[in-house]
Amino acid sequence: MLKFAPSILTADLARLGEAIKEAEAAGVDWIHLDVMDGVFVPNLTFGPLLVEAVRRVTSLPLDVHLMIVQPERYLEDFAKAGADHITVHFEATYHPHRAVQKVKELGKKAGLAINPATPLEAFEPLLPELDLALLMSVNPGFGGQRYIPTATERLRRLKAMRDRLNPGCLIEVDGGVNKETLAEVYRAGADVAVAGSALFNRRPVAENLKELKEVLYALGGR
């Protein structure tokens, strides 16, 4: 019912291939890759080369979250690298619609993300064309941050907007999802939970995932 997309940001990057295989064996649904440019967010991570390397070790959908300015410049590169979903930030481009259209032209699932301070209405004009609506529940830039509580009400409103405009679009929540916050995120209507530090930490991914799934079973979900 709820999909889990572990963010590799908090995985042990020195053994990334093994960490991804471990996550796949544990039963996660997607692999979430956080691309940061040091301009849109105060952190730098990786580009298409790493996406291509990850593509070689897993058959899971690669969910690429672009936290870069003018993402249009690199959409083709990420598509060629093997991304399945490409999400751009509303705040990072003058033309979010053009960027979304380009992702679709490349034959990939198109996502739009918004920051915690961006009005939810930013989704409205583009929702009918989106495959994914990504709601940030932390300010983008780092893994391991605390969930911003106002995200829950925003998720509820986003779900109502999605049900009205495009029931096929998935709602993804990103940032601070763990065993304490998962229940409210799920109840508020998320379809996909990104989880970095809750899944990649000192414990095996399978144990962490089991713990998160138990929260859902207790709510009658799966």
Ligand X SMILES: O=C(CO)[C@@H](O)[C@H](O)COP(=O)(O)O
Active-site residue, from 34, 37, 63, 131: 34
Please, what's the largest Cα pairwise distance for the chain? 44
DSSP state at residue 124: T
DSSP letters spanning 45-62? ---HHHHHHHHHH--SPE
Q: Does 61 bind ligand X (CB under 6 A)?
A: no
Where helices occur in 91-204 by DSSP H, the ranges are 96-105, 151-165, 182-188
In the complex, minimum distance from the CB of residue 142 to ligand X, in angstroms, rounded to a whole number = 6
Q: Site residues for Fe ion, window 172-201 (CB under 5 A)?
A: 174
- The first and second tokens of residue 80, run together, are 């060629």
Query: Is 174 labeled as catalytic in the residue annotation?
Result: yes
d(CA 192, CA 87) in angstroms, rounded, equals 14
Q: Which is nearer to Fe ion, 115 or 152 (CB)?
A: 115
Choice from 2, 31, 177, 212 touching ligand X (CB under 6 A): 177
Any idea how long the chain is? Answer: 222
Q: Which stretch binds Fe ion (CB under 5 A): 26-34, 47-55, 70-78, 98-106?
A: 26-34
Q: Does 34 bind Fe ion (CB under 5 A)?
A: yes
In the complex, minimum distance from the CB of residue 89 to ligand X, in angstroms, rounded to a whole number = 10
Q: Does 85 bind ligand X (CB under 6 A)?
A: no
Query: Is 84 labeled as catalytic in the residue annotation?
Result: no
**111 interface partner picked from ligand X, Fe ion, none, CB below 5 to 8 A per type:** none
Q: Which is nearer to ligand X, 82 or 141 (CB)?
A: 141
Taking CA atoms, 203 is separated from 12, 53, 169, 207, 209, in Å, by 12, 24, 33, 7, 10
Residue of 88, 49, 56 whose CA lies nearest to 69: 88
Q: Footprint of ligand X on this chain (CB under 6 A)?
A: 7, 9-10, 32, 34, 65, 67, 138, 140-145, 174-177, 194-198
